[in-house]
């Protein structure tokens, strides 16, 4: 199924948890903040969210800035 990650389309398996998706991509809990359909999901809840088609994810991290 299709979800939107950082504005781009991603094809993933059905019934995948958010946690599985993120860890599958190599994202570590302490290094990113994730928004699922506009809501920030704390690390400890990553596995509780099961992704649905057209879900929107924003994955952000700290970078250099002034």
Backbone angles phi, psi at 62, to 5 degrees: -75, 140
Element housing 22 (H / E): helix 18-24
Closest CB 28 distance from another protein, rounded Å: 7
Closer to another protein at the Cβ: 14 or 65?
A: 65
Closest CB 30 distance from another protein, rounded Å: 7
Binding site for another protein (CB under 8 A): 5-8, 25-28, 30-33, 35, 40, 42, 58-66
- Taking the C-alpha atoms of residue 12 and residue 56, their distance in angstroms, rounded to an integer, is 13
Closest CB 15 distance from another protein, rounded Å: 23
């Amino acid at each position: 199924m299709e979800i939107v990650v950082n504005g781009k389309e991603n094809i993933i398996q059905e019934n995948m948890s958010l946690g599985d998706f993120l860890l599958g991509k190599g994202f570590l809990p302490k290094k990113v903040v994730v928004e699922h359909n506009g809501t920030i999901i704390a690390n400890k809840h990553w596995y509780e969210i099961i992704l649905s088609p057209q879900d929107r994810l924003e994955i952000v991290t700290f970078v250099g800035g002034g």
